[in-house]
Structure 1
Amino acid sequence: MRHFDLSPLYRSTVGFDRLFSMMDQLANVDNGGSSYPPYNIERTGENAYRITMAVAGFGQKDLHIEVKENTLTIRGEKVAEEGKERGEVLYRGIAERSFERRFQLADHVEVRGAELENGLLHVDLVRQIPEALKPRTIEISTGGRTAKVIDQKAA
Structure 2
Amino acid sequence: MKSLRIYAIPFTGLKLGKHQFEFDVTDSFFDEFDYSIVKKANLKCSVELEKQETLIILNFHITGHIDLTCDRCLAAYPQPLDISEQQIAKFSEEEIDEDDEIITLGKSDHEINIAPLIYEYINVAVPFVATCGNEGNTEYCDKEMLDSLNKLAVNNEPEDEIVDPRWDALKKIK
Decide which structure has greater helix share: 2
Q: TM range, normalised to the smaller chain?
A: under 0.3
Q: TM-score, normalised by structure 2?
A: 0.23
Decide which structure has greater strand share: 2
